[in-house]
Structure 1
Amino acid sequence: MLPLTQIAALRTTVDDEWRSPVADAVGRAWDIPAGGLRYWRSSAAHVFVVPPGGDARGVLYARFAPAGSASGAHLQRGAQLHDRLTDAGAPVAELVRSCAGRAVELIHTPLGEMAACVVKRVDGEELDVDGLDAGAAAAWGAALAEFHRTAGEVVPPSAPPPRNPFAVLARHMTDPDLAAAAQELAMHWGPESGPLVVGHGDFELDNLRWSAGRPTSFDLDEAGVMPAAADMSAAVRDLLGPRPAAPLHPELLAAFVDGYRRTAGHAVTLDALLLHRAAFAAQQLAEASDVMDRGPDGEGWLSDLVAGLNRHYAEQRDIVVATAEGRKPPTMLPG
């Protein structure tokens, strides 16, 4: 998630028609005329869209983030993987190369240098949990396994063991219950949670479009080397729900896991999914202070965003605490 100061700075450049000189600077590298890109949203990156009829190439999404930031680094890494997957024939959104023939560009804008890429809109059906059945859930799991296979094997020198996210969280928490939960879970964290893969990082339903029973994915900003269980747990957050140990949709979760197993050739346990779901929550909580680096200051849209983020972080806290409680040995009563 981009820091609020960066989102607010970008929003000050957006006019009543949702245009921005920052987006115009990005668009020039793809021969998109000034004013052609309209503001869509800001989350992991700023996203602007060329609406239908605005470009002969179709509906285009320009995504950019400050080049020197973690978000910018993630975008560049994701765009490079996206480019490689496109060459391998993987079902990913069509990446639009810049006028210079590159998948990602570093561009000087009124807000500094931005890392940017452009993709075409993916046509197809957007499924949500309510529209999912066991067959689609199994196809979803199989598609993630296929993504891992197409992305290629992890080269050991480029894949250091993941940091212990619970230890990181415990060092930065003033909330005693959350710190204790993080310390408890830190003792269970280790490299034994399954094979490392080049993962998507956010293979949720809202980052997929379906056609003929198969999904096409986009938004690879969170892609990178990770345990397979971590990528799976990020994908099925909506199936696990706010108390992952008691999943909201156990039958769909089982179908997803089975679809992954049949395609990947190895199983991932519910225990591993729960630990990685809590790890994802811990990572977000550890980064919260960097994201929430300013208050709303009377801006209505910013007040809504801050309120939404506060609710989100409260949910992540509850997941970490509940997961730790589920892993503590039962207390023996005296006598």
Structure 2
Amino acid sequence: MMKLSSMLKVVETIDDEWRSSLAEQILERWEYDKKSLYYFRSSANFIFVFKKDGEWHFLRFIEKQERNIEALKDEIDILFYLSRHSIRVAEPVQSKNKRYIEEIETELGFFYAVVFKGLDGKQYEVEELREEQFLLWGRTLGKLHRTLKNMPKNLYLNRSTWKDHLNFVRRILPESEWAAYKELEEISTWANNLSITSDNFGIVHYDFELDNLCINKDEVGIIDFDDCANYWYAADIAFALRDIFHEKVDINHPSYQVFLQGYTIETSIDEHILKDLPLFMRMHQLIMFTKILRTVDIPELEEYPEWLQNLRKNLVNYIQKTRTEFKKLHS
């Protein structure tokens, strides 16, 4: 998630009709239907929706210092590889300059921007899913992993690894977060002793939750490969099912069992490492905790707009709740 200070300066360019002069300036590098561009959301990136020849597309951009250009290039290569191998993904669109990634200078600084085609289908909440959709969800992840296992390694050399993520935690955590540091040491020791083979480890989506899936009957489209990284495939299962495992990992949960059944239709899973789902969940929580600590980079002030005050409050509540959980683990 980006820093709140970054979010504020861009969202302030959005008017009452959800239009942004900044986003329009950035999108000028691509062909699009005029007056069709609207703000969608901000999280790790700024996302705007627009139409080109009447079809929905997405503009995604972020401040230059927040992204590695080589990692972005790898993401584009991965998407085209998956598309060629019958994985339904949001495909990148070339700019007028015949580039998939544009670096654009604006009054607010430099940004990297990319455009993707929209995907048909509905984005579900976990409570809405029927058993057959849990099966489809798992099967889609299994098919994705099976395809990624055969992908040439040169296509993802610049993507982050679990070690990079834990090094980020070590670099960002303040010394005062003693319980989080103890969690970091425990998770690091565990992860460093996990086996790594070509069958249990490779590039994963990292955020295969429902808000990144477009489900259309018996077909699933996948969006947002921005966080894809080198991990154990079991970690991708754990991260995908966070809404089911938000309290604790229950391997007897019927939805998990159906999801795993679908997954194993398409590819195998290391049963030994699968037993470590709770630890993968703890790893993800630690990384997310640190990211949000970094995100909350502005003080509590009444002069900020209400949406920002509310967002900051929610993030601070998450930090406090997670900090308490770490203390319970390591008191």
**TM bucket, shorter chain:** 0.7 to 0.9
Residues 1:124 and 1:319: Cα distance change in structure 2 (over 3 Å): farther
1:120 Cα deviation from its structure 2 partner: 2.5
1:7 Cα deviation from its structure 2 partner: 0.3
The aligned counterpart of 1:84 is 81
1:104 Cα deviation from its structure 2 partner: 2.2
The aligned counterpart of 2:60 is 63
Letter in 1 for 2:140: A
Residues 1:320 and 1:149: Cα distance change in structure 2 (over 3 Å): farther
- Measured on the aligned residues, the alpha-carbon RMSD in Å equals 3.0
- The 1-side partners of 2:120 and 2:256 are apart by 26
Greater RCO (CA < 8 Å, at least 6 residues apart): 2
- The 2-side partners of 1:34 and 1:163 are apart by 44
Q: Could you tell which deviates more after superposition, 170-179 or 95-104?
A: 170-179
- 2:110 alignment partner, SS class: strand
1:287 counterpart = 2:291 = yes
Runs of 4+ that moved beyond 6 A: none
1:293 Cα deviation from its structure 2 partner: 0.9
1:191 Cα deviation from its structure 2 partner: 5.3
The aligned counterpart of 2:224 is 219
TM-score by length of 1: 0.83
TM-score by length of 2: 0.84
1:256 Cα deviation from its structure 2 partner: 1.5
1:181-200 alignment runs, 5 A limit? 181-190=183-192, 192=194, 195-200=200-205
- The 1-side partners of 2:233 and 2:244 are apart by 17
- 2:65 alignment partner, SS class: coil
- 2:202 alignment partner, SS class: strand
Residues 1:145 and 1:7: Cα distance change in structure 2 (over 3 Å): same
- The 2-side partners of 1:271 and 1:99 are apart by 49
- 2:55 alignment partner, SS class: coil
- How many residue pairs were aligned? 320
CA contact (8 A) 1:245 1:274 kept: yes
1:318 Cα deviation from its structure 2 partner: 5.7
1:273 counterpart = 2:277 = yes
Residues 1:320 and 1:280: Cα distance change in structure 2 (over 3 Å): farther
CA contact (8 A) 2:27 2:59 kept: yes
Letter in 2 for 1:204: E
- The 2-side partners of 1:17 and 1:125 are apart by 24
The aligned counterpart of 2:138 is 141
1:34 Cα deviation from its structure 2 partner: 6.2
Residues 1:55 and 1:262: Cα distance change in structure 2 (over 3 Å): closer
- 1:119 alignment partner, SS class: strand
1:272 Cα deviation from its structure 2 partner: 2.0
1:309-328 alignment runs, 5 A limit? 309-317=315-323, 324=329
- The 1-side partners of 2:274 and 2:143 are apart by 20
Q: Deviations over 1:145-193 (max 9, x none)?
A: 2112323446399489631866764664524444333333333222525
Q: Could you tell which deviates more after superposition, 172-181 or 118-127?
A: 172-181
The aligned counterpart of 1:112 is 109
Residues 1:105 and 1:168: Cα distance change in structure 2 (over 3 Å): closer
The aligned counterpart of 1:308 is 314
The aligned counterpart of 1:239 is 244
Task: Give the percent of matched residue pairs that are identical in Structure 1 and Structure 2.
Answer: 24
- The 2-side partners of 1:168 and 1:26 are apart by 30
CA contact (8 A) 1:166 1:183 kept: no
Letter in 2 for 1:117: V
Residues 1:225 and 1:239: Cα distance change in structure 2 (over 3 Å): same
- The 1-side partners of 2:299 and 2:34 are apart by 32
